[in-house]
Each structure stands twice: as structure tokens, then as C-alpha cells.
Structure 1
Amino acid sequence: MNKRDTMITFTAIALSCVLAGCGENNTLTTQIEPSDPQFADKVFSNAAIYTVTQSKPWAQAMAVKDGEIVYLGDEKGAKSYIGKKTNVYDLAGKMVLPGLHDVHIHPLESASDATHFTAAQYDTIDGYQDVLYQAASENPDAAWLIGYGHNIDTLLDLDISPKVLIDEVIPDRPVIIMEQTSHSMWVNSKALSLANIHASSRDPIGGVIGRNDVGELNGILYDNAGNIAMDLAMQSLGDEQSQNYIGFVEYTQPMLLSHGITSISDARVYWQRGQLDTWQKLQADGVLKMRVSLGLWAYPEASDESQIRALKSFYNTTPNSLLKIDQIKFYMDGILVNTTAAMKEPYKVDWLKLDGNRGVNYFTQARLEKYIKALEPSGFDFNIHAIGDRGIHEALNAIEAASKGTARHRLTHVEVVDPEDYKRFSALGVIADAQVAGEFTQPHHWQEMQPLLGRERADHLVPIKSLSENGAMLTLSSDWNVSTLNPFIGIANAVTRQPEAISLEQAIAAYTINAAYAMRQEDIVGSLEVGKLADFIVLDRNLFDVTFEEIKATKVTQTWIHGNQAF
């Protein structure tokens, strides 16, 4: 539905029909225009407006002037805000929500055409090799052939070394393929050579070089070992920035707006690869239509002193700008399925032959403390990837030891949390950011982690109810494209994932006012209140009147940002 379809400019006489009612025959009645000159630009009437406030959670009408909400209340009270030039929108009883936030998303990486091909999950060697043949023939001039999308479990089950599988098809130029979680890269011999990775190489900080049972390289680079190789591949492209720019403008931003998402946090800005420049160009060109906070990537292998200086220089929160550079993205650990998430007790399997078999650290607790002390005074909040109970515990320890208590640090993913740490989130003012939109996070999948973690640790994964009951501020996000960016799937999953389900009210708050707090903009958006900016969305159904399963099918019919219709 476009603006022309929904907006009608009325005279003062016709407006009384909309707000006072004229009956089914639409007979007009006369209304004398109010004497108050402070008329609104727009009035939204006949709506079910869920404000996400405790004092007044529901309203029927809303008036907006100069992009700001000037009235929320009943239909009668909205009349005084209507003048000859006021545009009135009859929303026909539809539900209105504040604009939704996604505080953990990868909007440049996930839509860029910088990658050359997709390698889906195949059960046979021929399936993968057919894709590789096609990719090589379609991209004859690519210095590195870059792919995305495979599942590492299926790949390792094949009767061939992953490295050899590629070598048989493409032996003469480097190939790198990102696994769908982004926590491992699959490469051939040529790529290993260019990355200076060989049989005697030591694992880099936060990474693992995959080997077979006799110590030979198998072509799988876990976590930061893969990131280092991918940086080389991306540098060879020459046009990553333009591809990221085009992907965001033409695909990602329109899709986000169509799902009612008006604010995002880029959860991993590779500033050494020009991604910060891309965001600044989007802002300078006037094509950025939503509110964005950037999480600058903290490179684990970098010199702390030089990296801290660089990060400090990037901080920017220009007033009234849609773009803010005010967050740092840290990884404490890897992920569970690779056994790289940092755990207090060893895994039940020992695939990677790591010392202690308790996962990896991108950053140690002591090193994170150093960055908090250096960067928090500049205004930075930290978005800390922490999945295992040890990674979460060490991150909380670092915040407790180094933070002055004024920052809004958050731990994202929070998959295996020691119950002893539940209360520490609230006590330390740390936000718990979780992703439950992915089907794999649902409780009926928890048992799949038992072979890695045992029954006790595999239970209550992503414990959003337990964290909330212990006072933690909760935000929900997507980690797109690991999971769908559709927030209504996230909301539906959040309220149905017993025994770790939360209420519908809590789920909506996690996508709105809580997330706005995480982005330091709760004073202007995140709820619908007089004096706040008019960031809001219109839905095709009332979430409180449908089944939880029907919530997943919710469609956004209109998205408004600062009083302007963006979708």
C-alpha cells in the first residue's frame, strides 16, 4: 500500500466525518476549525496504537508535527490538532507499534554481491564439485573465488579432505568459502599458501587451523584463522565497498523497512576493509533512511595500542545524524557446534585437539578489561559476542573490574549461561541480547547439543526467561543472515519456547524500548510518547488478538521514520 492510497487531505468539514463519524452513508457534518494555530501535519486515527509504555499502553489516535508526536489519545482529543492542511490517515483499526530495532545484524555482509557463488549443503562430493566447476567458469577473472553457505558437519562427513575436494577442481587459484555461521572458512591449497598457513603453523589468536588425524591441513579454518584468510580474499576484489553499498541500498534497507525495522546496529564493521567508509558514504549521499549504530570490529591479532588509538579516532555521534559510530564489537569466543565457544568444563568430544578442550578466546578477560578502560571514557558501548558459559563469565568479570558503570555494554548470543551469572547482568547493568528467530534455537533442538555438552549444559539454551526473571534487560535481534531478519518470527518464537518463553509484552519491548536503550536513543524513539520522534509501523493484524503461530505471518503495511513514510 503506498502513500497515495492511504493518505487523504481533508477540509475541516470533512475531517469531522473521520473523527466524529458520519454513518455508513458518509454524510458530512459541519465542524468549526479550532482556534489553536498549532495544528498537526498528520493525524492517524481509528487505530489500535500500542505505545509500549506502562502508564498508557493503548491509544486510538496520534498527531504528528515536524516529525514529532504531539498527541496520543482518543479520537475526540485528536480533533484539536486538525487544520485545513492536516493530512488524516484512517488506519481502519489496524495495530500501530513503535519502529522495531535489530541490534545485532550484518547488513553490509549479508546482501553484498562481493561473493561469487553459494555452496549449499550437499550429501555428495559431486554435488560440491559441480558448484565449484560452475563458479570457476562463471568467474574466470576472479583473483580469489569467494563463496558462502555450506554446512561444515555435512562437509566433514564426506570421504575426502575438504581441501582436496576443491583442489581436484580448482588447483591453480585460491578458493575460500564461508560456512553459514561465518565461524569457519573452507579453503584450498592455493589459499592456504597465500595466507602463509602450512603444516607447522601455530593457531592464531582466537582461531584454529583444521587438521586431520595425522596432523595434515584439511582446509578448514576455524574462527579467526578463517577471518584472516577472508580479509586477504576481500582485499583482492577491489570493489567490495561498492558491492556493499549497492547491496544495502537496493536490497537490505528496503527489506528492513518492509519488515518494520527502523533502527539497526551493524554488529561487525570491518573498518580495515573499508566498511566504515561505506557507511559514511551512505550517510553523506543521503540514501540512509534508517537509524544506524556501528559496532567497530576489534581485530584480535592487532596491536592493542595502535588499535585503541584508531578506534578512539572513529567515535562520532553527531546530533540529528542517522549514523552513529559508538559501539565496539568484541568476540570472547567461537560457537558451540565447532567446539570453539569458551566453556568452563571440557566438551564431551575432542574434535580440534585444543589444550583443555574448552574452546577458544578471541580476547582474554584481562585484554578486554584493557579495552574497556581505554574506550569507555570516549563514549563507546561494547557489543560482546559471548556464547559459552566461560566466555560469558569472563566478559562479566571484565566489565565488573573495568567499567565505570556509565556504559551500556551488552553480551550477545548468551547461549550457555551459568545460572550463577543470571543476576550479574542486572547487577552490572549489562544488556542480554539474544537471537531466537532461528529454528535451531528452539527447545526441541536442545538435545542436539547433548553429545557436545552433556544433558545439563544442553538444557535451557538461550535462557531469556531466566535472565529476565533475574532482572536483566533483554533485547532480541536476528544476527541476519544466520537467522531470518523477520522480527515477527523472533517474537513468536520468544513467546512459545517453553520453558524459556517470555510474554508478548516482553518480546515487543525487547525489539523496541529495550533495544532503543541499547542504542542510546530511548529518549527519542522506542516507544510512542508525546515529544518523541514519529518512528512507527502499521501492521495487518493485532498481535494480541491472534495465535502465536499467526504472529509469524504478520505483515507490515506502513513504516514511518521521523514522521515520513519510508515503506
Structure 2
Amino acid sequence: MSITHDIKRHLKLGCLFLFLFSGISCAEQNTQKVTADKVLIKARVYTVDVNNPWAEAVAVKNGKIIFVGSNREAQDYIAKQTKVIDLQGRMVVPGFQDAHVHPLEGVSLTTFMGCDLIPLSDTETNPETWIDELKKCNKIDFPHDWILGGGHAIQDVLKLKRMPKLVLDEAFPDKPAAFMEKSSHSMWVNSKALEIVGITKDTPDPQGGLIFKDPQTGEPTGLLSDSAGDELMHKALQRSPKLQQARYEALMLSQDFMAKYGLTSITNGRVYWERGNLEPWLRAEKEGTLKARSIMALWAYPHLQDDFQLPKLKSMYRDDRDSLLRLSQIKFYSDGVVINNSAAVVEAYNHLIHPFAKPFGLNYFTEKRLAKYITELEKVGFDAHIHGLGDRAVKESLNAIESAQKANSKLKLQTRHQITHVALARKEDIPRFAKLNVTANIQINHDTGDYGTGVELDKKIDYKHVHIDDPDYWFKIVGDVDVEFSPVHPIIESGGRMVFSSDWDVSSIDPIVSIQNAVNILDGKMSKDEAIATAIKGYTLNPAYIMRHDDMTGSIEVGKYADLVVLDSNLFELPKQKIKQAKVLLTLLSGNETYRAKEYR
């Protein structure tokens, strides 16, 4: 059946339904002679509305949708002052909603962390050869007193024959320097940085982190994993007028970048409020420069005392749903990442990347403490946004949410908690997502990788040199364990809610990359059209649910905000391996243009 035939069939059924239950025909819908501000016509509108999935036209007034239907009926909403956009058969979908992005970090390598290692690590994996290029970063005018950058892989630094800090000491003998590796879960620092923050051989590991030390001398090597790196960066990036201006400028760059990919709602997946990362957002709200509905997931600091942090977080809650800025989620890290052996796992790792790695990973927040925080904060209205990557972290996060539900039984049906990443999950935990109404927020947006088909493990493989860019690194480091890797279909099949997101800047921000990857993952488990519909819903209506505005956005329905995206191709008509070639032509937030492609003028 053709898409055009499908559109007409659904329009006729919608008209029949309207007539039977209201006595009004489609031709009589606009009896009040309402004039639209803007009308999109001759489009292939995929609404994500199960009652009316396809349409030809959309009318908008005062930022909201007032009509969804046929081209003929849309004429009733057009007057002289109406802006009519003839889309010539192009596809319209609800604005994409990315439930896990890091906007400030996403552009940091061009702003306040401007020493970019990506070109170096892409061309040469031996950091010893980078020293001359690194020295050039001394000339950058940073908005702080540090040399900051990132983009390397920790495996490259681990292969050094000397302590990593000594390489940076050659490039930066007088200034503190710190570089974030590409997963954002470790820092490579020089001796001056260690000195300033007071890290010595006697410094204990912080909760949720590791200070890499020489096995013989105990001296810090210059690598800091997870929360150990976070705590150093808290000191390096303390607020100052110059840095706050740089952060605001970075935020403005990120707004344009996100709009380019059709994003109309986002969740800032880690707001370091003690550093000053919230202030640029508050300024943007005040100055009216936000280009997306923005949910802040306030960071829960592992090192802060509960009697200080819990009241502070409660005081920050803000959830005016008509505002473009809302402070309504708390970001917890249960664990770290597989590549650092810091993801929390049930069975010991197949390979440890360094002598001090923990065989079962680590916890930023223990299950008991996580349950305490969720129990307290959901009373105020906060939803938990939990980083749970390893199978033990997923299990403990579900346990903590279940414990909070028992403690706050009256809130059980009101909370909208989520676990993000879910890279590994035990089979017995898969049904618990649906049972506990916990959303799985998974990233499948890398351009390469098999997303869970597995590899044969070979004891002869030199696992020490497994690289983060190797699509099979999870399997080689984790080993042959009985888990589901990126369990997209198992969670959907068990009735769980699936959200797709990018975790930008860790990987591609483009939602259409994820949509193609979802089709590949679900191939053989559902039809291509069903897989595309599932993926689009995972980037529109489902994230709108965990952002608590699914009654206002996420689908193209009368009464909802006109958050819309125009694509150059109909995703349902593209071959499955060419879906990601589709491009955003136009992004509308409340009917207002936030992005227009140069080729679409």
C-alpha cells in the first residue's frame, strides 16, 4: 500500500470518527473561521498519533497546532496574512527530543576547553609524538588559568612507557593541564595540576573514582578515572566572570547546532551547579535566547554530604511546563564505563586495563544511598535520571527505584524515572523496566558498531590494546557473560518504554543516525515500517513522557505546541541503509523557525 493511499485512508477514517461522535464533518471543523498564522501544506505528515498517524497539512496559531488533516480542509485556515509553506511532498515529523545531551561540553573544544586532541589521536596513537603540537596550546587565550582540552582515548595513554603526566609536563611545565578522554570518564593531567588540587601518593580514591598510581612507588601517574577526574575539573572550572561569559557563548553555539538536527526539546544530562554551569541557562532564559525546551538534570555530587546536598537540590526544583527552562530531574551516576573497568558488573571483568582497576567496577552512588536520594527527592517532584551502564548498576538502580516506590507508595504512579545507557543488563532485570515504569534511555547513535550481536572471544587476543573505537570492545573487556548487550528489543518486547538519545558530545547528535541503527537492530523482529515508527517514537513522544510534557509535545495533534521538523526525504520510503542520509531542512519551535538549511530557501 502506498504512503499516499495510507494518508487518504486515515483522513477518511478520521472524518468518519469525527462525524459519528460529534456530528461535525471535516469540512465544518473551522466553523469559527479561525485564521492560522502559518499553514504547512502538501506534506507527508507523520504525526506519531495512533488515532491519526498520517496527514497532509498542519495549521498553527499562537505557537500551537489548531488543525491536522487534508490539504483541502487546510484552506479554511488560510487568510491573506497567513504564511503558507508548500512542502511539495516532503516529510514532517514532531520535533526530535534528545533526552540526554551535554550542550556545554559539546562545543567546549572550540571554547573553554580549546586544546583539541581529536586531530592528533585520529592520526597518531602514540602520545609521545603529540608534544610539539600540544605546546601550541600554550598560546590559547583560555578564560581560566588552566590548559584544558580532550578527545583522546585512554588506551593510547596507557601504552606509554613512562608515567603519562611526564609527557604533559614537557608540553606544559608551568601551567596546570588536564585533558578529558573521549568517553568523558577519565582525565589525563600533568604534575602541576596534581599539585594544585593536592593529589599525592597518600591521597585516597574518592567515592566513584580512581587515582592511577605507579605499582612500585605509589606515585600518581597523571590519569584520574571517573569521579577523581570530576573533582579535579570542579576546581579547574570554578566560576569567574570571564568563564561564565565563555560558557554562555558556548551555550549559544550549542543552541544553533542542536536546532540544525531538528531538536526542539533536550535534557541537559549533567548540570554541575556548584561549578556555575546552571547560570548560563538562567541567563539564556532571561534574555530569550533558548531554542529548545530544556530540562536540567541537576548533578548529584558523590562527595557532598547528604545533609547539605539534599536540601540544596530540593530548593532548586522548578517545573513550569510552559517555560523553556525547567529544573526537574536529578542526574545520578551509579557507575562508570566499560572501557575504564568502572562500569559496575555482576561478574568480574575478562580484562583489567590497569593494575588498580576494580574487577567488579565501581559505584558513584551505592544502591542504598541512591534509594535514599530518590525517596527524598521524588517527594518534591524530581525524577531520577540514572547513569547505569553495567549490569550490576542497572540491577542496583532498579532496586533503588523499587525501594523508593515502597517508601512512597502514593507516588508510585506519578514518578517518571529513567536509566540511561543500559549497555549491559541481566535477563531477569529486563521485565522490571515495565513493571516499575522505568524508562530505558539507550544510545545507539554511533556510525559503526554491531550494537549487541557479539564476537567470539579469543584468549590469544591482546586485550590490553582493546580500543574505545573498536565496536567490539565491550565484549572483549566484559567477557563471555550471560547478559543482554544494549537490550533494545528485549525491553520493548517485555512492554518497557524505550527512548533513544545521543549523549552528545560522546557521539553523534543526529537522531536520524539512531533511527537507522534502530531499524538494523530490530530487523527480523518487526517490519521495517514498524521499526521506523518505533524509532521515531523513541525520539519524540517517549522522551516527551520522561520530560513530563507528552501532553504538550511529542506528537502532531491539535492543542499541542507546533514543534515540528521538515525532512528532505520520507524515512519510510528510503532503503534501510540510506535512512541516515536524510537531512533536516526546517526546525520549528512553537511554530517559530529555529533552523533552516541553506539549500532550503
For normalisation by structure 2, the TM-score amounts to: 0.85
1:57 aligned residue = 53
Aligned equivalents of 1:355 and 1:117: distance in 2?
28
Q: Displacement of 1:363 after TM fit?
A: 0.2
Letter in 2 for 1:231: H
Q: Secondary structure at the match of 1:136?
A: helix
Distance 1:200 1:128, change over 3 A: same
1:77 aligned residue = 73
Q: Displacement of 1:41 after TM fit?
A: 2.0
- Map Cα deviations across residues 489-546 of structure 1 (whole Å, 9 max, x no partner): 1111111136797711100000000011010010011000111111111110000000
Larger mean CA deviation between 362-371 and 163-172 belongs to 163-172
Unaligned runs of 5+ in 1: 1-33
Larger mean CA deviation between 62-71 and 175-184 belongs to 62-71
- Map Cα deviations across residues 413-438 of structure 1 (whole Å, 9 max, x no partner): 00001111000000000000001112
1:515 aligned residue = 543
- Map Cα deviations across residues 54-77 of structure 1 (whole Å, 9 max, x no partner): 111100111222222111111222
Q: Displacement of 1:238 after TM fit?
A: 5.2
1:242 aligned residue = 245
Q: Displacement of 1:441 after TM fit?
A: 4.9
Q: Displacement of 1:355 after TM fit?
A: 8.4
Q: Secondary structure at the match of 2:339?
A: coil
Q: Secondary structure at the match of 1:272?
A: coil
Aligned equivalents of 1:421 and 1:374: distance in 2?
24
State how 1:122-521 maps to structure 2 within 5 Å: 122-139=124-141, 143-214=145-216, 215-235=218-238, 239-249=242-252, 251-353=253-355, 357-403=359-405, 404-405=411-412, 406-439=414-447, 441-443=449-451, 447-457=472-482, 460-497=484-521, 503-521=531-549
Aligned equivalents of 2:297 and 2:524: distance in 1?
28
- Map Cα deviations across residues 465-509 of structure 1 (whole Å, 9 max, x no partner): 111111110110100010010111111111113679771110000
Aligned equivalents of 1:340 and 1:78: distance in 2?
56
State how 1:42-53 maps to structure 2 within 5 Å: 42-53=38-49
1:96 to 92, 97, 108: 92
* Contact map agreement 2:342 2:358 (CA 8 A) in 1: no
Q: Secondary structure at the match of 1:306?
A: helix
Tell me how large the CA RMSD over aligned residues is: 2.0
Distance 1:56 1:419, change over 3 A: same
* Contact map agreement 2:112 2:142 (CA 8 A) in 1: no
Aligned equivalents of 1:365 and 1:440: distance in 2?
34
2:6 aligned residue = none
- Map Cα deviations across residues 310-336 of structure 1 (whole Å, 9 max, x no partner): 111111122521111101000000000
Q: Displacement of 1:299 after TM fit?
A: 0.4
Letter in 2 for 1:547: P
Aligned equivalents of 1:356 and 1:271: distance in 2?
29
* Contact map agreement 1:143 1:237 (CA 8 A) in 2: no
Q: Secondary structure at the match of 1:254?
A: helix
Q: Secondary structure at the match of 1:150?
A: coil
Q: Secondary structure at the match of 2:425?
A: coil
Q: Displacement of 1:78 after TM fit?
A: 1.8
Aligned equivalents of 1:500 and 1:149: distance in 2?
36
- Map Cα deviations across residues 135-169 of structure 1 (whole Å, 9 max, x no partner): 12445996221111111101111222211111233
Letter in 1 for 2:429: D
Letter in 2 for 1:43: V
Larger mean CA deviation between 355-364 and 45-54 belongs to 355-364
Answering whether residue 114 of structure 2 is matched by residue 116 of structure 1, we say yes
Q: Secondary structure at the match of 1:369?
A: helix
Identity in percent: 40
Aligned residues: 532
Unaligned runs of 5+ in 2: 1-29, 406-410, 454-469, 596-601
* Contact map agreement 2:334 2:364 (CA 8 A) in 1: yes
Q: Displacement of 1:460 after TM fit?
A: 4.4
Larger mean CA deviation between 271-280 and 134-143 belongs to 134-143
Q: Secondary structure at the match of 1:235?
A: coil
Q: Secondary structure at the match of 2:371?
A: helix
* Contact map agreement 2:212 2:356 (CA 8 A) in 1: no
1:566 aligned residue = 594
Letter in 2 for 1:481: D
Larger mean CA deviation between 135-144 and 556-565 belongs to 135-144
Answering whether residue 577 of structure 2 is matched by residue 555 of structure 1, we say no
Letter in 2 for 1:117: C
* Contact map agreement 1:464 1:501 (CA 8 A) in 2: no
Distance 1:534 1:169, change over 3 A: closer
1:537 to 565, 589, 595: 565
* Contact map agreement 2:143 2:246 (CA 8 A) in 1: no
Distance 1:75 1:141, change over 3 A: closer
1:524 aligned residue = 552
- Map Cα deviations across residues 89-122 of structure 1 (whole Å, 9 max, x no partner): 2110110000000010001122131113112313
